[in-house]
Structure 1
Amino acid sequence: MGLFFPTRHVKPIFVGSYGNHLTRGMYVFHLDIDNGELIKKKFYKSMTNPTAIFKRERFIYVCYKNNTGRNTDGGLWQYATMDLQFGLAGKVYYQGKTYMDSYVNEDRTFAYAVDYYNGEVVTIPILKQKIVKVTQCIKHEGHSIDPKRQSEPHPHFIDETPDHQRMVVCDLGTDEIVVYTIGEKGKLTRDEENTFKMKPGSGPKKIVFSPNGQFAYVLNELSNTVCVYRYDNAQFTFVQEVDTYPKDEFAKESLAGDIVLSQSGDYLFASNRGHDSVGVFEVNQETGKLEYIEFVDTDENPRAMIMVDDRWLIVASQKGGTLETYELKREESKGVLFETHFNYPVGEPVCLIEGRVYDKK
């Protein structure tokens, strides 16, 4: 206990918001890991929209949307973080490109990013702890069957495989999971043997791997499904496909928003924009298969989620303009995800990530 108040055990949460000219930017919240309460601590205004956040040690990497068309807009920005403070460490514009996602390898020697609008994957060296410039740009080619969303390539997400041997990109426009080998100086080479197609019209948006690295879960935005694959030495073997919500009970349009695995790997969550819910699945950790448990209602357009402390699910609803927290209770017999009734208004939150642990009085 403190002198007047009990000590709060909190974790910082970084949130990116589109908002308007007054509310657009980066927010820092503290999540009370004892009760799930969100406490706003800091706001950093930005001129353009943050689209994604990636964290590696004390640095966070923010993808910004190009709102003006200028070559010095958009790009990938790198910040050093200390408690609640942000300090700009580096930025890469590369002709004003808008990146939808980024990844930095574990030893922080290379950053990678995907350009949804121009169908490109880029490599960015990190020298003296700072991102420098784009040294490789790979253009995706192809299309799929949706005339509006799949007339051209749209790489949406990039990550490293659990064995650290490949990079993997979800291309929503071509219905492909594109696998890349990693060569000298971080150079990527398309691995045609292990790259594979999803069902036409799926729209793969994000991939997550099980904690043991044996299974991969692909969220498909357009078909509102999750596909399960067994992963072994760069090869993906199909296991299962499930809907993200009960489609026979909801006739209106919905698009999959985000996918999150619990840190223990026993539950998977998929958000639905339109159905405005989070689908909850139990994971068979031996087979990788998913069993649908329930869905919980959210605010309008749940776009992004994170799981904190293997207990708290934070949902960012873009149109609803809120951050909401839900508690994962494994011991309950009916349902496992419960509202905490803690929420905080934020103008169009679209991305979020967990920070480091601090104890605050």
Structure 2
Amino acid sequence: MLVGTYTAGSSAGIQVFDFDDRAGHIGERRQEVPCSNPSWLVLSPSADLLYAVHEDSEGRVGCFRRDASGRLEACESQPSEGDHPTHASLAADGRHLFVANYAADREPGVLSVLPVTAEGALLRARHKQIHARGSAIDPERQAHGHVHCVVSDPSGRYLFACDLGADEVVVHRYQPDTEPPLQPASYFEAPPGSGPRHLVFSQDGRFAYLTLELSGELLALAHAEGVLTPLQRLRLAPDGFQGKVAAGALHLSADGRFLYAVDRGEHNHLVVYRVDPDAGRLDLLQRRSCEGQEPREFALSPSGRFLLVANQGSDCIRLFERDPHDGRIGALLQTVSVGAPSDFVFVSLP
């Protein structure tokens, strides 16, 4: 298990742990890879390379090679062409890495496109798209564009950039052999002041789900040929909750039957929904405390029997049991101290 962290306190870049997916146990810390704020991790299709965004004022993207024992060794890095990159994803054809530069400083958000060689090496950015305009509904968080997430639809033909600052999801047609490789396709206008954060697609691409960070909400969306259409708008916190909310990460189970989303702020719960496979709509199943503060990310283990939460504000990883049949999150099984954890990637050893 590879864990990205924010470099603070006892944290040391990327941390490598043993993980037993049969027993549900985080084991020995095998390695600490020094690097600055590797807040998001992307594994290559062959699993021998790892790409990490370094969320700094002068953002970079690092490449790390895995040896047969699972240890990481730093290779090249490239500028991310923006500040504070928070997310990245590989094109379906593996030829480009898309990077979301959130832009926490005064510069606008930037979506950048880094070529990837046949051997997996990163090259200097081939293209960047500046997100200058903010909606200014929230004058502090939306003064200009903030690209928080970039994901492709399952077909790989469209790229979706969630802009928290502009209350938009900007859609590009991906054409790797043209110049530039991204062409404007459409955009989805989120509710004013809602702050789109993360987006996931159903396996067949007919539906998508979007967290709205600033309003603490979740949207269920229909999708066809790069166009998103609202189906359902849900508040993550329970009725009557008056504290601060901040919707964050979300993931579908491998079988697509359940959707999990996290509400941060003062709520700090995982919210579990049952997915209607025909209509794409969601039914609330459970709210489960993350047992920590500011959960940055979470992950379902490869077996689907466990769920891990990176509680950034509590400097710990919580490991919970999960029932793959009914989707519910169960007992807390283990707590591991990690300074400001931010992301997880699971890999198998030979």
1:269 is aligned, of 251, 260, 266, to 260
User: Counterpart of 1:132 in 2: which secondary structure?
Assistant: coil
2:145 is aligned, of 153, 161, 175, to 153
Q: What is the aligned partner in structure 2 of residue 81 from structure 1?
A: 66
Distance change >3 Å, CA 116–CA 255, structure 1 → 2: same
Note if contact 1:123-1:186 (Cα within 8 Å) is conserved in structure 2: no
Q: What is the aligned partner in structure 2 of residue 6 from structure 1?
A: none
Deviation digits for residues 170-226 of structure 1 (CA, Å, limit 9, x no counterpart): 00000111101122257343424x211100011110000112221100011111111
Aligned-residue offset at 1:295: 0.8
Tell me, yes or no, if structure 1 residue 199 matches structure 2 residue 187. no
Tell me, yes or no, if structure 1 residue 216 matches structure 2 residue 197. no
Q: What is the aligned partner in structure 1 of residue 333 from structure 2?
A: 341
Distance change >3 Å, CA 47–CA 79, structure 1 → 2: closer
Count of aligned pairs: 337
Match for 1:214: what amino acid? R
Tell me, yes or no, if structure 1 residue 125 matches structure 2 residue 118. no
Tell me, yes or no, if structure 1 residue 49 matches structure 2 residue 43. no
User: Counterpart of 1:319 in 2: which secondary structure?
Assistant: helix
Deviation digits for residues 69-104 of structure 1 (CA, Å, limit 9, x no counterpart): 6xxx53000111134211223210256743111112
Tell me, yes or no, if structure 1 residue 113 matches structure 2 residue 105. no
Distance change >3 Å, CA 149–CA 190, structure 1 → 2: farther
Match for 2:231: what amino acid? V
Note if contact 1:163-1:233 (Cα within 8 Å) is conserved in structure 2: no
TM-score (norm 1): 0.88
Instruction: Give the Cα–Cα distance (whole angstroms) in 2 for the partners of residues 113 and 95 of structure 1.
Output: 9
Instruction: Give the Cα–Cα distance (whole angstroms) in 2 for the partners of residues 110 and 295 of structure 1.
Output: 37
Q: What is the aligned partner in structure 2 of residue 143 from structure 1?
A: 134
Instruction: Give the Cα–Cα distance (whole angstroms) in 2 for the partners of residues 316 and 126 of structure 1.
Output: 29
Note if contact 1:23-1:45 (Cα within 8 Å) is conserved in structure 2: no
Aligned-residue offset at 1:343: 1.8
Q: What is the aligned partner in structure 2 of residue 352 from structure 1?
A: 344
2:312 is aligned, of 304, 309, 318, to 318
User: Counterpart of 2:314 in 1: which secondary structure?
Assistant: coil
Note if contact 1:327-1:338 (Cα within 8 Å) is conserved in structure 2: yes
Instruction: Give the Cα–Cα distance (whole angstroms) in 2 for the partners of residues 129 and 189 of structure 1.
Output: 21
Note if contact 2:167-2:196 (Cα within 8 Å) is conserved in structure 1: yes
Note if contact 2:86-2:102 (Cα within 8 Å) is conserved in structure 1: yes
Moved more, 17-26 or 336-345: 17-26
Tell me, yes or no, if structure 1 residue 59 matches structure 2 residue 49. yes
Instruction: Give the Cα–Cα distance (whole angstroms) in 1 for the partners of residues 178 and 85 of structure 2.
Output: 21
State the Cα RMSD in Å: 2.0
Distance change >3 Å, CA 315–CA 94, structure 1 → 2: closer
Match for 2:77: what amino acid? K
Largest Rg, 1 or 2: 1
Instruction: Give the Cα–Cα distance (whole angstroms) in 2 for the partners of residues 45 and 330 of structure 1.
Output: 33
Distance change >3 Å, CA 131–CA 336, structure 1 → 2: same
Distance change >3 Å, CA 244–CA 89, structure 1 → 2: same
Moved more, 311-320 or 98-107: 98-107
Instruction: Give the Cα–Cα distance (whole angstroms) in 1 for the partners of residues 328 and 182 of structure 2.
Output: 42
Note if contact 2:81-2:110 (Cα within 8 Å) is conserved in structure 1: no
Aligned-residue offset at 1:30: 2.4
Match for 1:100: what amino acid? T
Sequence identity of aligned pairs in percent? 24
Note if contact 1:219-1:258 (Cα within 8 Å) is conserved in structure 2: yes
| Structure 1 unmatched runs, 5+ | 1-12
Note if contact 1:225-1:256 (Cα within 8 Å) is conserved in structure 2: yes
Match for 1:52: what amino acid? W
1:306 is aligned, of 299, 306, 325, to 299
User: Counterpart of 1:327 in 2: which secondary structure?
Assistant: strand
Note if contact 2:144-2:166 (Cα within 8 Å) is conserved in structure 1: yes
Q: What is the aligned partner in structure 2 of residue 101 from structure 1?
A: 87
Tell me, yes or no, if structure 1 residue 14 matches structure 2 residue 2. yes
Note if contact 1:280-1:294 (Cα within 8 Å) is conserved in structure 2: yes
Instruction: Give the Cα–Cα distance (whole angstroms) in 1 for the partners of residues 145 and 81 of structure 2.
Output: 19
TM-score (norm 2): 0.90
Q: What is the aligned partner in structure 1 of residue 217 from structure 2?
A: 225
Note if contact 1:276-1:302 (Cα within 8 Å) is conserved in structure 2: yes
Q: Which has the higher contact order (CA 8 A, sep 6+)?
A: 1
Instruction: Give the Cα–Cα distance (whole angstroms) in 1 for the partners of residues 211 and 124 of structure 2.
Output: 31
